[in-house]
Amino acid sequence: MDNPVPDPSPLPAADTSAIVEVTTQSFMAEVIEASQSQLVLLDLWAPWCGPCKQLTPVLEALAENSDGQVRLAKMNIDEHPEVAQQLKVQSIPAVFAFKDGQPVDGFMGALPESDVKKFIEKNLGGELGPSPAEALMETAADALSQGQLEDAIECYAAALEQEPENVKAMAGLAQAHLASDEEARVKIEAASAALSNAPAHDNDPELSTARAALALEIKMADKQTDVGEDDALAPLLAAVAEDANNHQARFDLALAYHGAGQRELALDSLLDSIALNRAWNEEAARKQLVELFDAYGATDALVVAARRRLSSILFS
């Protein structure tokens, strides 16, 4: 790209902030000269541009948390159109990466944070640290895995405040609510609210898993089965012990194990039923097993092992 050289008027002293508002007059100091020592992102935007309002906060967060590696220079092209014209910009938002006084890369349109981060890292030649939302997500995921559900809920909610369209944060928040000890109705309402803003056709695997887990929770609530008590398991265990072919008892036992958080036993109960009589009740056990697979997630170690056993049962 040609180096745009706008207004040759005397240059003001350059700002050292991570984010600066740039005019035609300050462009040389704030972008061209500043890019001699760090990567400068020129964000060309306008007040009427809806996608600009989505992209700019992402750029700001990444610049602010780059430890001085990245500067964001924002230019309102309605007020200062010359640079955009010289760069032959036809639509906004438009972002250009400047290094050593030259524009070296760019993109147009409102990209998700992950893609913007990759763009920056490509032009930096190294990795950026986690954004505030990413740091909150990491903390939330650790808390969820350790059963610290209140902390997980708080961190996922804070991540969503940073990035309201982050579907992974929505999924994590829903899963944290579903894992809580609240009444089924309360958990379902909270998880539903967490997922309410997720795009209907988004195929993110974590979002799909959260939706499946919510659907299963609703199904369990509709059955009005108290599955969290030991005395709810005892009669079902006794019925299966008395008659190994009591598939209804085995099916209910699987749901009881699921409700008690004993996922491996839930999967095993359904697999045992399939091994004994796959066709029972129009393959109800296999269908329920698939629901559990979806709710637990394709990468869950228990699901991976159960899928292998299911394949062995079905194709042996």
Pairing of β 19-21 and β 39-45? unpaired
Give the integer Cα–Cα distance in Å for 241 and 42: 70
Long-range contacts of 152-158 (CB under 8 A, 24+ apart): 152/176, 153/177, 153/180, 156/194
Single out the catalytic residue among 39, 44, 49, 176.
49
* Residue 209: Cβ-neighbour burial (10 angstroms; 0-12, 13-18, 19+): buried
CA distances from 224 to 152, 208, 221, 286, 295 (A): 27, 25, 5, 22, 19
Q: Where are the beta strands (DSSP E) in 100-151?
A: 102-108
Give the integer Cα–Cα distance in Å for 285 and 18: 57
Give the integer Cα–Cα distance in Å for 32 and 115: 24
Structural tokens at position 278: 């796959």
Q: Is 155 a catalytic residue?
A: no
Contact between 174 and 213 (Cβ < 8 Å):
yes
Q: Is 49 a catalytic residue?
A: yes
Handedness of CA 268, 274, 277, 279 (dihedral sign): positive
Nearest Cα neighbor of 25 from 12, 36, 38, 39 is 12
Angle at 146 between CA 143 and CA 149, to 5 degrees: 55
Single out the catalytic residue among 52, 149, 159, 310.
52
307: three-class secondary structure by DSSP: helix
Catalytic amino acids?
49, 52
